[in-house]
Structure formats: C-alpha cells, structure tokens
A and B are shown apart, each in its own frame.
Chain A
C-alpha cells in the first residue's frame, strides 16, 4: 500500500483537483440528497428519518406534484419534437449550399448560447407582456393579442417558443449528419424515380437516424431539466394558476421557499428516475428505427 502510494503519488496529486471536485461537489451531494429524501429536514433542525413517507405522500396526496408532472410532460412532448423538426428543417436549408453559411450557422447558434440565460428570460417576459412587442406587432395586423403570460392557456406556449428558438445546437449536429450522407445515394434515388418527399423519408431520415436519436435523447433530458425560463417568467412560483409549474420550479419552491429539503430531495430523485426511464425507453425503441452504418451483424 505504501509502495503503491509512493509510486503513484504524483499522478494522484495531479488528479486531485478533479477528484476533490468529483467527490466533494458531485458524488457527495448526490448521495446526501438520496439520504435526505428519506428524512424530514428543514435546514434548521437535524434531519429526521421517515423512510419512504415522502414518496408515498407525493404519489398519493400531492396534487401540485401531479400538476408539475403534467406541465413538464406537456412541455417535453411538444417542445422537443417541434425543436427537432425546426432544427432539421433549418439544417436542410443550410445544407443546400448557401453563401456565407458560416454567418448563418453562427447566427442560428447564438440563441442556444444566450437562450438559457436569465437575461433572455427577462427579455422574453418583456416581449410577451400584454403591452409588449409581440402584441404591438399583432395589433399592427389587427389582432388583439391575449395576456400571454397571465393567461394559463397561453403561458406554457411562450416557454415552448422560447425552447424551440434555442434550436442551434441540434441544428449544428443535424448539419454535420447531413453532410455525412453520401451525395451519390441521392443521385441513385433520383435515377430510381424518387421525388423529394420519398428521398427525405427513404434516405435522409434512415441515414440520419443515429443523429436524430442522439438529439432526441439530449433534448429530452434538457427539456425535463428546464428551469430558468419558467422560473423567471412565472415569477418564481409557477404562476399563473400553476400553469408554469415545471417540475424543477416546484422542486425549487419546496426546497428554498418552504425549506422542505427532504421532500425536495425526494422530488429530485423522482425526476432522475423519470429521465432515466424515458432514456431507457428511447434506447430500447432505437433498436427498431435507428440504423448504424458501421454496425456488425
């Protein structure tokens, strides 16, 4: 043991920043939150073991939990496909060979960098305000826009638009995937009398499937975790009428507004399990629709 330490000391010394960060700042809190999820803990008093009680309560009595699930699922199910379709559409347009493509790529990617920030969320709130830019533009063509942010029927849509607007990173990945499809397959299909729609479904989609799958899983996880936009636009509470009560917003409220750290930890673990479940299902279905060029078989 001593000999092992002596021989490898330098290596571990160099690794130490990462090791400290990983164990102290990642693994530590993760395990702590798992433990806390089985306790009653309000930061002031020491945690008090209650077993699975939080989990039972969550699924049996907590209506806000169910509302949060509903809002989050709606957001994921609508925003992810929309974002991917939009990203693929723009990528295909750019792939046609446009002048100054580098500028367009940068321009379209910009929202992906900025979009997650608090500043853009605040900007979004201004845009969709009742007297904001969106309604001013609509009034120019004679439409009286609704209370986007105050009306529970519309509030979630402003966030879906915000999410779709951040299509830059899946678009870049799609663009790279499209570039990798050999041009002569399209030419062979052209001679084989395939029209544009047929080419898209018979060549582009199957050959892009690994990339579509990658983007789908990544964007799905990101959508489940989405927080800052909903938090800012709903004023931190999920308002109006809990229509923006994203799972993460609910979790934040339980933890930091009501200081129910134990319950918030349990919520966090449930979110993790939901994301894991969806990811597993996605991987399982991928066997049937994702074709890998280099796969042995």
Chain B
C-alpha cells in the first residue's frame, strides 16, 4: 500500500499543454477514480503516474518517494489496460508469470502466486489457454490477474471495463470492488463512466480539459458540486440547469417565478436534480409544461417536460406514475434542493 502525491504536474506535447498543473493527494489504501469526458487528460495523468509517459513539469511521488525519473518497472505498481494488452503468443499461465520471472523471482514463488491469482479470479481452468481462446470477460480477468500477481503497492486501471458488454461490466464492477476490499491496496482507476466512478470510488477526481475540477467522495460530488461542470457531469440522468437573474433577495426563474435568495445580483444558474423535481404538487414555485417523452425504467419513470419558454426539464417519478406524451403537468421543487451557480459557473452556498 502506498500513497500517491502529485504536485503541479504538467504535460505538454511539443509545446501544447494538455495537463495544466494538477495537485492530487491519493491516500494509502484509497480507491480513487479519475473521471472526465474523453480528452480531459485522465489517461495521460494515469500513464504519467505509471511511468509510461514523461512529465513535463512538477513531481509525482509514490510512497513518499519522488518517482519522476524512475522507470515504470521500478515503481512497484501494476496496470490494467483498456485493451487488456495480453501477450498473444503466451499461455495465460505465462502471461501471469512473465513479470515475475523478469524480476528473477524463484520458480516455486511464481507458481504459488500464479495459483493464488488464478483461484481468486476463478481462471484456474484457463491457465494453459492462449488469449485468443478466451472471451472478453475472461481476458479481463487474466489482465487483472497479471496485475495482482505482482502484489504491488499500487494498482492502476485504464478504463478496464469499457470493452465489455453492459451486463458483464456490472458483474466485473462488483468483482473489482470485492477485490479492492480483499486486497486493500491503493487503486487509481480511470473511467469516463460516472456510474462506475460513483459505485466504486472512495473518492472521485473530476477532470476537465487538463484541469482538476473537484475531488471528493461520491456523496460530496453529488450533493455539493463545486461548479457547473461537475454538477452536470456527475449524476445520471443529468441535473437540470435553469438560468435566472438574481436581484439581491430573490432569483427570477422564467416559468417558475421568483425564488428567495440572498446574495449578489446578476446572472445565475440554478440546478435541480431530476429526483427533486416533483410533478403536479401545487407550490409557490410551479412551472407549467407539456410531457414530450416518457422513459419507463420499472422502478422509476423519467419524464421530459417542455416548459412554455421552450426549455426541456427532466423529472423523475415513481414507477407507478402514469404520464403520457402530451399531458399538461406542473413542476415544482424545494429551494433547499436547488444548487446555485454564479455567472462564472462556480457554486454559491445558499444561505439557509
């Protein structure tokens, strides 16, 4: 187990900056997920921690030791690649043993570790097969197996589940979480899927365009997003964003009328999560609209409502709600559930 510290880490490709000075502290034994849209630099950041990519500026330390100039093989870490990167001409057993024999580990120790990993991942009967004879899920297990036989102080995962089908992805997610609980090793996990991030992470770091937008527990990110980007990136379906005008003691929200708010005057954005928009309950702040689409998910229903001014909001209703296209409905929300952002998109804590 090891902590990882990034300070002022930058990356530029021939003068073009892609990572703009990131400070990040990963505690020992933590499961940190780096999440962000594609091109945000999360994989680059992971590869820099791995030692596969040089850093342009700043320092990276693992277990309180600066590793800037240390090759990947000496950082005592394992990495699982999106493509699995299994050696195609080697059997599963050799794939697992390759790194260990490069470290000149005694044969019986290699054998023990391979057998242990195979048992944990239930791939014992696959050991003599070649990667091409494995299914996607089995390849994934072998790739994880290759990472755990090293018994490293740090695991890195680069979108390991994105090549799997939806069902398998959910299953592997559970297994990875189980593996984390079992090993307790520090893990850094890159994904663009916020559901994966929310379900597995002890903390999440949200990246956007090479900047760290926010880092916190899934709960903090969901309930107190620091800015508009995090607010709309975390949570599925997305938070509804309404633009309004603050006048000092209230906000004028088109459709909903006035909302009490003490703060500076100016352009504002008010965010309301779909589950906080209630339908049909009479309240001081109500907006009238027409149902344009109904998504039935069984336990809940997502209802798309077009307001009179043309903007579409998404509301969540219980699974037994019976709305249909064309219905006229009223939407309302509690002020306490709303998130407020200033004209720069930064969160404003509403005075309660």
Contact = CB atoms under 8 A, between A and B. Distances in A.
Interface of A: 182, 184-185, 187-194, 198, 202-203, 206-207, 291, 293-295, 297
Given A182-B83, A184-B81, A188-B81, A194 B102 contact: yes
B234 interface: no
Interface stretch (B26-34, B85-93, B221-229): B85-93
B191 interface: no
B52 interface: yes
A207 B132 CA distance: 14
B88 A293 contact: yes
B83 A190 contact: no
Interface stretch (B9-17, B71-79, B274-282, B331-339): B71-79
Contact of A207 (B71, B73, B89): B89
9 contacts: A184-B85, A188-B85, A190-B51, A192-B98, A193-B99, A198-B102, A203-B87, A294-B132, A297-B130
Contacts of A202: 87, 98
A291 to B, nearest CB: 4
Contacts of B98: 189, 192, 194, 202
A189 B146 CA distance: 11
A181 B129 CA distance: 21
A45 B219 CA distance: 102
A12 to B, nearest CB: 44
Given A185-B85, A185-B88, 12 more contacts: A187-B72, A188-B146, A190-B51, A190-B52, A190-B72, A191-B50, A191-B73, A193-B102, A194-B73, A207-B88, A294-B132, A297-B130
A28 B98 CA distance: 56
SS class, residues of chain A in contact with chain B: helix
B103 interface: yes
Nearest to A185: B85
Contacts of A295: 132
B89 A192 contact: no
Nearest to B131: A293
Contacts of B74: 193
B79 A188 contact: yes
Contacts of B81: 184, 187-188
B343 interface: no
A207 B50 CA distance: 25
A191 B88 contact: no
Given A184-B81, A187-B81, A293-B132, A192 B88 contact: no
Interface string B52-88: 1000000000000000000111100111010101111
Nearest to B47: A187
Q: Kindly list the 8 A-B residue pairs having the minimum CB-CB distance in the complex, ordered from nearest.
A: A192-B99, A193-B73, A188-B85, A193-B102, A184-B85, A291-B89, A206-B89, A190-B72
Contacts of A291: 88-89
A183 B212 CA distance: 28
B89 A193 contact: no
B152 to A, nearest CB: 9
Contacts of B50: 191
B89 A191 contact: no
Most chain A CB neighbours (cut-off 10 Å) among B72, B74, B86, B88: B88
Contacts of A293: 88, 132
Contacts of B77: 191
A185 to B, nearest CB: 5
Contacts of B146: 188, 192
Contact of B73 (A192, A203, A294): A192
A185 B102 CA distance: 15
B133 interface: yes
B99 A185 contact: no
Contacts of A190: 51-52, 71-73
Contacts of A207: 88-89
A40 to B, nearest CB: 55
Contact of B133 (A182, A198, A294, A297): A297
Contacts of B130: 297
A227 to B, nearest CB: 38
A187 B52 contact: yes
Contacts of B85: 182, 184-185, 187-188
A193 B79 contact: no
Contacts of B72: 187, 190-191
A207 B133 CA distance: 17
A194 B72 CA distance: 10
Contacts of B52: 187, 190-191
Nearest to B83: A184
Contacts of A192: 73, 98-99, 102, 146
Contacts of B132: 293-295
Contacts of A184: 81, 83, 85
Nearest to A192: B99
